[in-house]
Amino acid sequence: MKQFKSLADWRACRASLNLPLGFVPTMGALHAGHLSLLQHSTAENAYTVASIYVNPTQFNKPEDLNTYPRTLEQDLALLESAGVDAVLMPTYDQLYPDGFRFQVTETELSKRFCGAHRPGHFTGVLSVVLKLLNLVAPSRAYFGEKDYQQLLLIRGMAAAFHLPVDIIGCTTMRESDGLAMSSRNLRLNPEQRKLAPELYRSISTARDGATAIAALEQAGFTVDYVEDFTEGGMSRRLAAASLGEVRLIDNVPLT
């Protein structure tokens, strides 16, 4: 597995590649959910690239950026074992030579759900993903359905800017008790970890969002939202709730 910390070195490598390329962007602290994305990519493409970059522009709270788990050595070992061909690890100055003066902003969906509670979050996400897609120039890029709002926004951005890439959504991977796999789960203390699966149980079984919110608040969560959302004939129940300082998100399809 080749490791690239220099974008100039990566560009030179990319210019020599003329084959189907899959891309999995990450912020590190990798888990089995990321592994499933990598498995999709290695199965469907001749060459797979991953990136590890904790993107500061998508954190609306500095303390969240400071406490985000960083496990680089383990991450690199997992990527190599998964058959990844190359990993990009750029710096802020390389990705944002403009100091983030130029930004990608979406004006509708990004203002709802997580966007209503995390001002500027999706502007940071869309900006860095557009940069990475331009740098990697993949045939396909893979994102988890756990971040369903993010998936829809990235897919919409790719279409709006005529990017020649397929944005592939992959099924949410869960722990045995139903908790959606997330790097943030590493920050849960034992008591919070025991309670965390209630988020999935509540949104899966409640007859509506208000009922789920009541159940979660009674269990000890601080709830940002539980709402049903339909787009393109597909309906989902989206949720975000916190245990202490750890914010969890999840969603389930509605039939």
Question: Residue 232: its pLDDT value, please?
Answer: 84
- Distance CA(124)–CA(110), nearest Å, equals 11
- Tell me the residue type at 122: F
- Distance CA(134)–CA(166), nearest Å, equals 13
Q: Tell me whether residue 34 is one of the annotated catalytic residues.
A: yes
- Distance CA(66)–CA(28), nearest Å, equals 14
Q: Where are the domains of the chain?
A: 2-170, 183-253
What order do you get walking across the sheet with 222-231 strand by strand? 222-231, 234-243, 246-253
Are 249 and 123 spatial neighbours (Cβ–Cβ below 8 Å)?
Answer: no
Are 216 and 198 spatial neighbours (Cβ–Cβ below 8 Å)?
Answer: yes
User: Mind listing the pLDDT tens digit for each residue in 218-242?
Assistant: 999 999 999 999 988 899 999 999 9
Contacts 24+ apart (CB under 8 A), 67-71: 67/187, 67/245, 68/27, 68/29, 68/183, 69/28, 69/29, 69/183, 69/184, 69/186, 69/187, 70/28, 70/29, 71/28, 71/29, 71/30
Query: Which residue, 25, 10, 5, is CA-closest to 128?
Result: 25
Are 136 and 53 spatial neighbours (Cβ–Cβ below 8 Å)?
Answer: no
pLDDT tens digit at each of 255 positions of the chain: 999 999 999 999 999 999 999 999 999 999 999 999 999 999 999 999 999 999 999 998 889 999 999 999 999 999 999 999 999 999 999 999 999 999 999 999 999 999 999 999 999 999 999 999 999 999 999 999 999 999 999 999 999 999 999 999 999 999 999 999 999 999 999 999 999 999 999 999 999 999 999 999 999 999 999 999 998 889 999 999 999 999 999 999 998
183-253 CATH fold: Pantoate--beta-alanine Ligase; Chain: A,domain 2 (3.30.1300)
Are 20 and 48 spatial neighbours (Cβ–Cβ below 8 Å)?
Answer: no
β-pair type (246-253, 234-243): antiparallel
Are 140 and 165 spatial neighbours (Cβ–Cβ below 8 Å)?
Answer: yes
β-pair type (47-52, 166-170): unpaired
CATH 3.40.50.720 fits 2-170, yes or no: no
Q: Catalytic pick from 34, 40, 121, 162? A: 34
